Homo-oligomer: A and B are copies of this chain.
Amino acid sequence: MPVYNFAVGNPDPGSFPSEGLSRATQAVLARDGEKLVVYPDQRGHAPLREIGAARFVKNNGVEMPIENMALTTGSMQAISLCCQAFLNPGDTIITEEFTYSGSINCFRKYGVTMAGIPVDGEGMRVDALEETLKDLSRKGTLPKFLYTIATNQNPTGTMMPASRREKVLALTQSYGIPVLDDDCYADLLFGVDAPTSFYALDPESVIYIGSFSKILGPGLRLGFFAAKEETLQKVLYWKIDGGTNNLAAFIAAEYLKGALWEHIEDINAIVKGKLDAVTQQLDAHTNAFVSHSNPQGGLFIWVKLPDDVDPNRLLELANDRGVRYGTGKAFDSQGRDLTYLRLAYAWASHDDIVKGIPLLAECVADARTLALEAR
């Protein structure tokens, strides 16, 4: 049975630069191979931090000093280190109501309560955030941080506008709450610029989290975070792994120093083409897919299903027919069954999209309880 995989946030496999990385490896090992017999710098290979900083400057117009950056095993390690540094069981944190399943699982392991702020087409709602902060404050609870994916939000595929970012930040600042600015989809933009990141607005109270997984591949496990020195040290204190992989960092830095902008342009064109194909299919099956977000970048689109769909039945049906997607429940901060699903569109081929989405529409139809009752 063919499998149509819209579940995983992987880049397009055809755009993986195997040849470029191969050439980069030859060059960097011939020149710097012996440097791999020593332990990595605690903050990671400086040339790769420089590339992360260059991306940041281009997107935000302000500098990111590389001494304020540390490489990590993907952005996920940065998130978990922040949990270790900031959280105790029983603490409260603030997130978007729907957010990245990997982060949710991590937060749960650290035993905290997620106050999930309702979202709309522009991300976290400021009125709801303000109310939640007041509520928590009345109960004497100060959230330990606010975690947000403002650019190309996962799973909802929304972009928080500049004005809203400023309002969110004004609120966190007034309560003295740090912000975890998960910007790992920053490079995946389809002909638009992203608004200035939280970290660029306030490097004092914001921890920036970046990734090279989305422009190269998650198999390279390279991400980073940036913060003021005191915060950086507080987080790095728990990074007890002897340093982030220098072989991978050497190779990625060598490749990206020549190819960064061109490679980003190439993959964005490819991924945008796939998003268009997915959107076309969704719009052709509005009985099953009631509405969807309109991503301006990133890897994910958030799809509303009819209210009478049984999400668990849908999952079974889709699994049986080889269609994989992200359940709403996996991305809900409160772990509820939802009549939403997340489609990842970069990994699947155009052929998979054309065949898989209509198949998913059939599954949705078959998972409607009213429809079943009517039979």
Q: Is the CB of B246 within 8 A of A38?
A: no
CA–CA, A40 to B10, complex, Å? 11
Contacting A241 at CB < 8 Å: which of B11, B73, B216? B73
Give the complex CA separation of A35 and B8 in angstroms.
13
Cβ-defined contact, B29 with A22, below 8 A: yes
CB of A322 closer than 8 Å to a CB of B = no
Which of A22, A74, A247 has most B Cβ within 10 Å?
A247
Contact for A25 among B22, B34, B76, B218, CB less than 8 A? B22
Q: Is A154 an interface residue (CB 8 A)?
A: no
Q: Is B30 a contact of A18 with CB atoms below 8 Å?
A: yes
Distance, CA A112 to CA B250, complexed state (A): 36
Cβ contact within 8 Å between B10 and A80: no
Question: Which B residue's beta carbon lies closest to that of A246?
Answer: B219
Residue A374, interface by CB 8 Å = no
In the complex the two chains form, is B221's CB within 8 Å of A243's CB? yes
Contact between A76 and B34 (Cβ–Cβ < 8 Å)?
no
Q: Mark A213-249, 1 if CB is under 8 A from B, else 0.
A: 1001111110000000000000001101111111110
CA distance A347 to B34 in the complex (A): 11
Q: Hey, what's the 0/1 contact readout for A17-53 against B, CB within 8 Å counting as 1? A: 0110110011001100111111110000000000000
Of A30, A237, A241, A246, most B-chain CB atoms within 10 Å: A241
Is A191 an interface residue, CB under 8 A from the partner? no
Alpha-carbon distance A216/B216, docked complex (angstroms): 25
Chain B neighbourhood of A216, CB < 8 A: 36
CB pair A33–B10 under 8 Å, yes or no, is no
B10 touches A37 (CB 8 A): yes
- Report if A176 contacts B (CB, 8 A): no
Provide the residues of chain B in CB contact with A218, threshold 8 Å: 36-40, 242-243
Among the listed B26, B79, B80, B219, which residue makes an inter-chain contact with A35, where contact means beta carbons less than 8 Å apart? B219
| In contact, A241 and B80 (Cβ under 8 angstroms) | yes
**A251 at the A/B interface (Cβ < 8 Å)?**
yes
A12 within 8 A of partner (CB): yes
Q: Is the CB of A102 within 8 A of B242?
A: yes
Q: Known contacts A238-B109, A242-B73, A244-B73; decide if A219 and B36 are in contact (CB<8 Å).
A: yes
Instruction: Check: A13 CB closer than 8 A to any chain B CB.
Output: yes
- CB-CB under 8 A from A251, the residues of chain B are 25, 247
Residue of B nearest to A78 (CB): B241
Q: Quick one: CB contact mask for A194-222 with B, threshold 8 Å, 1 for yes? A: 00000000000000000001001111110
**For A12, what are the chain B residues with a Cβ–Cβ distance below 8 Å?**
37
B38 and A217 contacting across the interface, CB-CB below 8 Å: yes
17 contacts between A and B (CB under 8 A): A18-B33, A19-B29, A21-B29, A21-B33, A22-B26, A25-B25, A35-B219, A36-B220, A38-B217, A38-B219, A39-B219, A73-B242, A106-B240, A109-B237, A218-B243, A220-B247, A245-B245
Listed in ascending order, the chain A residues whose CB lies under 8 Å from chain B are: 8, 10-14, 16, 18-19, 21-22, 25-26, 29-30, 33-40, 72-74, 76-77, 79-80, 83, 102, 105-106, 109, 213, 216-221, 237-238, 240-248, 250-251, 347
Query: Nearest 4 CB-CB pairs, A to B?
Result: A18-B33, A36-B219, A219-B246, A80-B240
